[in-house]
Structure 1
Amino acid sequence: MKKFILFFIVISCCFSFSQNKQLLYGFSDIPQSLLLNPGGKIKNDWYFGIPLLSHIHANVGITGSTIYDIFASNGIDFNTKLQNAVYSMGSNDFFSANQQLEIFSGGFSFGSSYVKNKYLSFGLYQEFDFITYFPKDLAILALEGNQNNIYRPFRANNINVAAEAISVFHLGYNKKVNDNFTFGVRGKIYSSILNVNSTNNKGRFITERGQNNFYEHIFNLDLEARTSGVASLTDDESGSNAVVKDLTKRVLLGGNLGLGFDIGITHQLNEQWSLDASLLDVGFIRHSKDVENYKIEGDYVYEGIDPIFPDTGNGQTAEDYWNEIEDDFVELFTPDTTTSKYTTWRPIKLNTSINYGFGEKQYEDCNCLKDNKSYLNSVGLQLFAMTRPKQPIAALTAYYYRRLFNNLQVKATYTIDSYSAYNIGLGMSTNLGGLNFYVMADNFLEFKNIYNAQSVSLQLGFNYIFNKNED
């Protein structure tokens, strides 16, 4: 059982997802790039996303040991590989998950009859977000037990986890002030589908030599887990039809609600250089419905099983003895349950990039340049940062964008982040008439051995676009 618990901890922490979408950011041929910068450039008059297919995003990554490190057939004993995996990771290693599915979306330009310099976009998407820090002390306790760790404190603050599923209705406004400056803002209404978080744990567990028994187990704990939207889903009386109906209601703004906003700008420094930036998900969710919180707090001392048992002289049976031990543990670890309201803050994300365009497009029927200085190529650097419970995370990306034909654009990226120092990604967008299709994937160098990959991601979608006549 001890090895099973340890194995579950390591494997469940091996996979992580990232909210950095460096391939999509700044890819203005794709309407969904406005979700990453509401003040970005726009290349269409209007569009609508194909429902449930316009944006699908999933990413898997790892900061420490990979699946291959544990299961590789390399002649090393499995227990040794598992031990190496535990000790190679630290308590500040984090593991997260993020997935998005766009339910519907659309956008259109408006303004005067001569210049349509304003753009309105809207939509509804579902998002799942998860993060946990590697509980190293707990993993070592599961691996080695406490007998060989007398007087060693195992810290409870290693337990740090948060998970939520939400839907987001959004409305964005983008305005091109002049040829050099564009800004945008997006308002959001969050609807929490479910939330679980336990991020402020304190205390420790330590084993000492006992006076009345071999060992004395001392618990000093302050543990708390807050949940919303979970209790009703786990109710034995709730049928599958009721659960589906309840989840659908929460997606359609019937869950615990919150508000937030995005802001963004694009500044054309000169004909070839531009700078852009965005701040996303500045907001909160207030959890007041279907709330259950669990708390364990206090100091406990347990001296373990008496080596002489049962106390038959006083009429105690073996069953009475084991029931007493069970009652002791129930008393120690039964949490107090409350329904107190609480507020969670969305993880704020920052994107910024500097870009250089080159290779001016020429008319086919003459040796002349386009008036609006449309460039076929661009290169640049992008910085991504994001708040997390313990400390922010960041990533730096270098990219190359190329417009091959009027209806085909490609982008290549090289990213350094928490998972890898050599993440190469490729993305493309193509139009067949008004139908737009895009697909993007990360970390191509690791495809030869997917089990040893630090991260692998995929984004794809279908839209119907009416492009501006710029060609």
Structure 2
Amino acid sequence: MKNYLTFWGLILFCLTSYTQNKQILYGFSEIPQALLLNPGGKITNKWYVGMPLLSHVHVSSGTTGSTVYDLFADNGVAFNTKFRKAIYGMSNKDFFSFNEQIDVFSGGLAMGPSYEKNQYLSFGLYQELDFIGYFPKDYVVLALEGNQNNINKIFDAGDLNATAEVISVVHVGYNKTLNSKMSFGFRGKIYSSVMTVSSKRNKGYFVTTQGQNNTYNHVFDLNLELKTSGISHLLDDDNSSLEQDLKTLRRRLFFGGNLGLGFDVGMSYQISNQWSVDGSLLDIGFIHHSKDIENYKVEGVYTFEGVNPIFPESGNNQSADAYWSEIEEDFEDLFQVDTTASKFTSWRPVKLNASINYAFGKRSEKECTCVKEDSGYLNAVGLQLYVIKRPRRPQLAITSYYYRKLFEWLRIKATYTVDSYSFSNIGMGVSAHWGAINFYLMADNFLEYKNIYDAEAVSLQLGFNYIFK
């Protein structure tokens, strides 16, 4: 029963897990937050101010493994059958990721000579939560089946691979338009880690063989490590109250935590009137963890032959209590967990964006066949590549899109994305302008909404800005 509950928890967590790709927002230049994805992108405003806590809210979900529907579908199949199928249908390459981002405040303004204004300064502070965990296949199978029917089977201890962190980021970006064709940008970042938990690059195995002194011989060859920062103080009830913990979290959000540095770079180039390319590298940086550290490590080869079912002869002068106490102590002493406060450095997950775009269709005047001057193109299509560095291997996504300026106050963007989660991800974004007020709403994987419990990936982005053009 305990194993079932554990697995249900994993599956439910998958449904609320998150990915960092923002393919609908990328290149949507009328929305100021697009500069967070490409600091060298096109700019269409003189200045803007984001509504605090609402200028950019991003949540999305995705899993490459089983879904809730796989377990609880009313299809006449026994639950135990669906449960085992879900377990054995996943591998240690399947992963669950979680990402959430909220802008605390943001803004930007054009700079330079009054006749040109070819430079732009943007700034802000956002909070981010990021998690990725790979399905620990061998751990789950061992917990489900036990080792009695798996004699001589080697279970891989390296299946344990997960990392989670909560950070805040203050950033300042600079964008410059060199000429009518090219612009570039740079964004500097200061990271403040609120809390971090990481267990990566684990190695080793567990195997059960026929024993010599007992029925079975259990061999553990392990090199496991868990690194944490910002956790132990919050879990220590003796040193803090809830009010003190909340103060600690607020302080860490505003640079009271473990600090780090990073940067983004980006550019855009107008090949011709209608063709353009752009690209960016994001989160090239690190966080140095030196405060509130608690690390755990198990390393070495351990052998345990289990419990001898035959009680020793009375001539040994050993009581039953002493006998079982000795067995308990042997097992507890088998694994030696080293606890340290060693400093460590975590690297940010670097992201790559690149796209090629084709614009077409100018608006015609009603009373003549000419086109409106300086109105720009009404439509655009293109392809975008997204890559993010992850512990085992990079995750990739390819997106095709169609952009349309319906009215001066309303623009839409439709996308089709192929990624690790789905081959049928259709999304749409809308950006509306009422005077100086901008509101945008974006979502993807619309085909999954017909059965949300079977969804492999869904996402939502929204925000409010005050924009002066």
TM-score tier after normalising by the smaller chain length: over 0.9
Q: Which residue identity lines up with residue 385 of structure 1 in the other structure? A: V
Q: How far off is 1:371 after superposition?
A: 3.4
The equivalent position to 1:252 in structure 2, one of 233, 246, 254, is 254
- Residues 312, 106 of structure 1: alpha-carbon distance in 2 compared, 3 angstrom cutoff: farther
**2:227 aligned with 1:226:** yes
- Residue 395 of structure 1 is matched in structure 2 by 397
Q: Is the 8 A contact 1:204 1:221 kept in 2?
A: yes
SS in 2 for 1:53: coil
1:448 aligns with 2:450: yes
In the alignment, which residue of structure 1 is the partner of 2:270? Answer: 268
- Residue 460 of structure 2 corresponds to which residue in structure 1? 458
Aligned-pair identity (%): 59
CA distance in 2, matches of 1:201, 1:311: 43
1:223 positional shift: 0.5
The 5 Å alignment of 1:20-419 reads: 20-237=21-238, 238-309=240-311, 314=316, 316-363=318-365, 367-372=369-374, 374-419=376-421
Query: Structure 1 residues 313 and 71, CA, compared in 2 at 3 Å: closer, same or farther?
Result: farther
Letter in 1 for 2:395: I
Is the CA contact (8 Å cut-off) linking 1:439 and 1:461 kept in structure 2? yes
CA distance in 2, matches of 1:214, 1:71: 40
Q: Is the 8 A contact 2:209 2:217 kept in 1?
A: yes
Once the 2 structures are TM-superposed, how far is the Cα of residue 210 of structure 1 from its aligned partner?
1.2
Q: Choose 76-85 or 447-456, whichever is displaced more.
A: 76-85
Measured in 2, the distance between the counterparts of 1:208 and 1:223 equals 22
- Give the Å deviation of 1:315: 5.3
- Structure 2 distance, partners of 1:377, 1:311, is 90
For 1:417, the aligned partner's letter is: D
Superposed structure 1 runs of 4+ greater than 6 Å apart: none
180-189 vs 71-80, greater mean Cα deviation: 71-80
Structure 1, unmatched stretches of 5+, are none
TM-score, structure 1 normalization:
0.96
Q: CA RMSD in A?
A: 1.6
User: Mean alpha-carbon deviation: is it higher for 301-310 or for 123-132?
Assistant: 301-310
Tell me the alpha carbon deviations over residues 351-396 of structure 1, each in whole angstroms, 9 at most, x when there is no partner. Answer: 0011111111245676532333501111110000011111111000
Q: Matched residue of 1:370: which SS? A: coil
How many Å separate the matches in 2 of 1:376 and 1:406? 10
Alignment length (residue pairs): 467
Structure 2 CA distance for partners of 1:81 and 1:322, relative to 1, 3 Å: farther
Q: Which amino acid in structure 2 is aligned with residue 25 of structure 1?
A: Y
Q: Amino acid of the residue matched to residue 184 of structure 2?
A: F
CA positional deviation for 1:45: 0.8
Instruction: Verify the 8 A CA contact 2:15 2:61 in the aligned structure 1.
Output: no
Deviation at residue 127 of structure 1 after TM alignment = 0.5
How far apart in 1 are the matches of 2:355 and 2:362?
21
CA distance in 1, matches of 2:192, 2:283: 13
Conserved in 2, the CA contact under 8 Å of 1:10 and 1:86? no
Distance 1:34 1:342 in 2: 31
Q: Distance in 1 between matches of 2:327 and 2:417?
A: 54
Q: Once the two structures are superposed, what CA deviation does each residue of 1:192-238 show, in whole Å capped at 9, x if it has no partner? A: 11111110111111011112221111111111011111111111121
Report how far residue 316 of structure 1 moved.
4.4
CA spacing shift, 1:380–1:311, aligned 2, 3 Å = farther
Residue 305 of structure 1: how far off its partner (Å): 1.8
CA-to-partner distance for each residue in 1:71-127, whole Å, 9 max, x for gaps? Answer: 112121212111111111111122211110110000000111111111000000000
Name the CA distance, whole Å, in 1 between partners of 2:8 and 2:223: 26
Aligned partner of residue 68 in structure 1, secondary structure: helix
Find the residue that maps to 2:27 and give its secondary structure. Answer: coil
Compared CA separation, residues 429 and 111, structure 1 to 2 (3 A): same
Aligned partners of 1:377 and 1:77: how far apart in 2? 51
Would you say the 8 A contact 2:14–2:67 is kept in 1? no
Give the CA deviation at 1:240: 0.6
Structure-1 separation of matches of 2:216 and 2:13: 32
Would the aligned equivalents of 1:92 and 1:134 in 2 still touch at CA under 8 Å?
yes
TM superposition shift of 1:317: 4.6
Tell which deviates more after alignment, 300-309 or 443-452.
300-309
| Distance in 2 of aligned mates of 1:404 and 1:184 | 29
Q: TM-score if structure 2 supplies the norm length?
A: 0.96
Aligned with 1:185: secondary structure?
Answer: strand
When residues 364 and 253 of structure 1 are mapped into structure 2, their CA distance, relative to the original with a 3 A threshold, is: farther
The AA in structure 1 aligned to 2:33 is Q
Structure 2, unmatched stretches of 5+, are: none
Q: Is the 8 A contact 1:69 1:85 kept in 2?
A: yes
- The match for 1:18 is 19
Shift of 1:5: 3.7
- Whichever residue aligns with residue 354 of structure 1, its letter is I
Q: Distance in 1 between matches of 2:186 and 2:444?
A: 29
Q: Distance in 2 between matches of 1:379 and 1:344?
A: 38
Write the distance in 2 (CA, Å) between the matches of 1:311 and 1:267. Answer: 86
Q: Decide whether aligned partners of structure 1 residues 391 and 140 sit closer, same or farther in structure 2, where only a CA change above 3 A counts.
A: same
Structure 2 distance, partners of 1:119, 1:35, is 13
Q: Give the 3 Å change call, closer, same or farther, for CA 366–116 of structure 1 in structure 2.
A: farther
The alpha-carbon deviation at position 3 of structure 1 amounts to 3.6
Structure 1 residue 329 displacement after superposition? 2.9
Moved more, 9-18 or 292-301: 9-18
